[in-house]
Amino acid sequence: MHEFELIERFFAPLACRNVSVPLGDDAAVIECSGSMAVCTDTLVAGRHFLPDAPAEAVAWKALAVNVSDLLAMNATPRHYTLALTLPQADDAWLAGFVRGLDEAQHAFGCCLLGGDTTGGQTLTVTITALGELRGVPWRRAGAQPRDALMLTGPVGAAALGLKQLLGEVCLNEEMVAAQLKPRLPLDAWQALADYPVHAAIDISDGLVQDAGHMAAASGVGLRLYVEKIPMQKGVADWCARQHDWSLPLAGGEDYQLLLSVAAQTAARIEAAGLAVPIGEVIEGEGVSVLHHGQPVSLANGGFQHF
């Protein structure tokens, strides 16, 4: 199948219609009324997803990782481009991939501007996403001592789901679903527009690792309490049996948001059910983790891309 036939057959139906110049020319043209946030993520088979992962799941995750970054910057997803490297142009795989993209872009409220397809040895998916800022951007910098640290949802299920896919544990399909089709905190993010946020970060590389990025950017220390971190019962039970809290702390791929907000704001956010407090910002540097008052150390702080 030729490249242009592939694009017309599979990807043209996903294209944006409400732009000045849509898919089909050398470049798309969009009109912007305000500031835009732009991010890019690349997913490589065998590194970011299992080589036999369902095509629908690969597509969903490829768009979700980018949308999660936009949410962390306080930007509404609008458009994305796709660069796809295929070992072979398999019709069944492409049909599944497009179904996954179609479901994801409808869930996240964005559409395809264009991109590129080519052949190569390793299946690789690169998406660049564009979002419209709703007010001021949220930054990693800005956390202040005595701020509360809040998390928008549970962590650890995706990492435990990966263990199940690898045959290391046998639990339930809920964990596998968290790994293959991660859910983003879209409803909470929408409502958080009403609250002042000092700093924010997507924690897809692992809670402790990404908390460390916020601490470094803000010039402060962060303290996390394991017993306050939300996690599904299956995750909490597994960690308690293993005496190992590395999955929620460092497993990654949870696509929740870590927020730093004033203490009085945190009380309002918690009362609204939008996020839960899991720690505080302190003078100093780095990230410390306590479990019922006892320090927790991690051999691995989070996902490494190299």
- Name the more confident of 26 and 161: 161
Calculate mean pLDDT across residues 90-114: 95
The CATH fold of domain 148-295: Phosphoribosyl-aminoimidazole Synthetase; Chain A, domain 2 (3.90.650)
| Residue 205 marked as a ligand binder | yes
The pLDDT tens digits of the residues spanning 229-271 come to 999 999 999 999 999 999 999 999 999 999 999 999 999 999 9
What band does 148 get if pLDDT is binned at 50, 70 and 90?
very high
| Residue 76 marked as a ligand binder | no
Please state, for a pLDDT cut of 70, what percent of the chain lies above it. 96
| Residue 218 marked as a ligand binder | no
Name residue 67's beta-bridge partners.
none
Going from the C-alpha of 65 to that of each of 80, 140, 158, 230, 281, the distances in angstroms are 12, 17, 13, 21, 26
| Residue 41 marked as a ligand binder | yes
What band does 27 get if pLDDT is binned at 50, 70 and 90?
confident
pLDDT computed for residue 305 by the predictor: 44
CATH superfamily placement of domain 3-133: PurM-like, N-terminal domain (3.30.1330.10)
pLDDT computed for residue 64 by the predictor: 98
CA 288, CA 281: separation in Å to the nearest integer? 10
The pLDDT tens digits of the residues spanning 185-226 come to 999 999 999 999 999 999 999 999 999 999 999 999 999 999
Going from the C-alpha of 141 to that of each of 32, 229, 299, the distances in angstroms are 26, 22, 26
pLDDT computed for residue 304 by the predictor: 47
pLDDT computed for residue 16 by the predictor: 87
What band does 301 get if pLDDT is binned at 50, 70 and 90?
low
CA 292, CA 69: separation in Å to the nearest integer? 32
Q: At what angle do helices 55-72 and 173-180 cross, to 10 degrees?
A: 70
pLDDT computed for residue 299 by the predictor: 63
CATH 3.30.1330.10 in the chain, residues?
A: 3-133
| Residue 134 marked as a ligand binder | no
CA 142, CA 198: separation in Å to the nearest integer? 5
What band does 182 get if pLDDT is binned at 50, 70 and 90?
very high
* pTM (whole model) above 0.75: yes
| Residue 202 marked as a ligand binder | yes
| Residue 254 marked as a ligand binder | no
| Residue 210 marked as a ligand binder | no
| Residue 140 marked as a ligand binder | yes
pLDDT computed for residue 172 by the predictor: 78
What band does 306 get if pLDDT is binned at 50, 70 and 90?
very low
pLDDT computed for residue 202 by the predictor: 97
pLDDT computed for residue 244 by the predictor: 92
- Name the more confident of 124 and 9: 124
| Residue 90 marked as a ligand binder | no
Calculate mean pLDDT across residues 281-301: 89
CA 204, CA 159: separation in Å to the nearest integer? 11
| Residue 253 marked as a ligand binder | yes
| Residue 85 marked as a ligand binder | no
CATH 3.90.650.10 in the chain, residues?
A: 148-295
Tokens linked to 190? 């929408």
pLDDT value at 21 more than 90? no
